Chain A
Amino acid sequence: EVQLEESGGGLVQPGRSLRLSCRASGFTFSPYVMSWVRQAAGGGLEWVSFIRSKASGGTTEYAASVKGRFTISRDDSKSTAYLQMNSLKTEDTAMYFCTRGIFRYFENAFDMWGQGTMVTVSS
């Protein structure tokens, strides 16, 4: 079965760190752009970051709201993408979804989504 499974969410205090993982299965992981999108309770979607394939340089992009605090990475040998979140703020509280580009090397639309992992930043 083709799927994405997030893990690593939880309750964390402001200023602390958390690392999210996204394990892919059922498809060849390496050629795909992987992205994180978050959604606050009752709110809209907010794109967070994406990482291109190694063949495309493995380069990364970030939303302004997380740039300098979050780092996205990937381990193709484990079919897993990561989101390292540092200096967390209360406004980072959200459900974090892992997503995959619709086609190989495609970074503009995402056809596969995990069920999400909840991150709560609170003292």
Chain B
Amino acid sequence: QSALTQPASVSGSPGQSIIISCTGTSSDIGNNDYVSWYQQHPGNAPKLMIYEVNHRPSGVSDRFSGSKSGNTASLTISGLQADDEGDYFCSSYTRSSTLVFGGGTKLTVL
């Protein structure tokens, strides 16, 4: 199972919106609605931000939203804040009942 494809980096200014894409195949993202997004700050464990494509866990800001079209999922962060800076990873359940992560995207808040 190959890793999902994410851009290596994205950047934006405070207050702006950014989108991080995550491209898979018909065996993972295109096969179900079990896409998740995680945020990781340096030295910390990942934090779940989105599950099942567009659901936010309790306590996650509504500035974070998710969507999916075909084999590509997207994470949108609106009203960018300095604390949003970090690494973002997508993941998807697969046809084989396994999980696969994306390579990660480094978000820089300018």
Contact = CB atoms under 8 A, between A and B. Distances in A.
Interface stretch (A20-28, A75-83, A84-92, A108-116): A108-116
Contacts, number: 59
Interface of A: 35, 37, 44-47, 50, 61-64, 97, 102, 107-111, 113-116
A50 B47 CA distance: 18
A47 B94 CA distance: 12
* A interface secondary structure, majority: strand
Interface string B89-110: 1010100111111111000000
* Interface size class of chain B, counting residues whose CB lies under 8 Å from the partner chain: 20 to 34
Given A102-B48, A102-B57, A47 B89 contact: no
Given A45-B46, A63-B1, A110-B36, 11 more contacts: A35-B99, A44-B104, A45-B38, A47-B100, A102-B51, A102-B57, A108-B51, A108-B93, A109-B52, A113-B47, A115-B45
B3 interface: yes
A114 B47 CA distance: 11
Contact of B89 (A44, A63, A113): A44
Interface of B: 1, 3, 34, 36, 38, 40, 45-48, 51-52, 57, 89, 91, 93, 96-104
Going nearest first, the 4 A-B pairs with the smallest beta carbon separation are A109-B51, A113-B45, A108-B34, A47-B99
Contacts of A110: 36, 48
Contacts of B91: 45, 47, 109
B104 A116 contact: no
A109 B48 contact: yes
B45 A97 contact: yes
A97 B46 contact: yes
Contacts of B51: 102, 108-109, 111
B100 A108 contact: no
Given A44-B103, A44-B104, A45-B38, A61 B45 contact: no
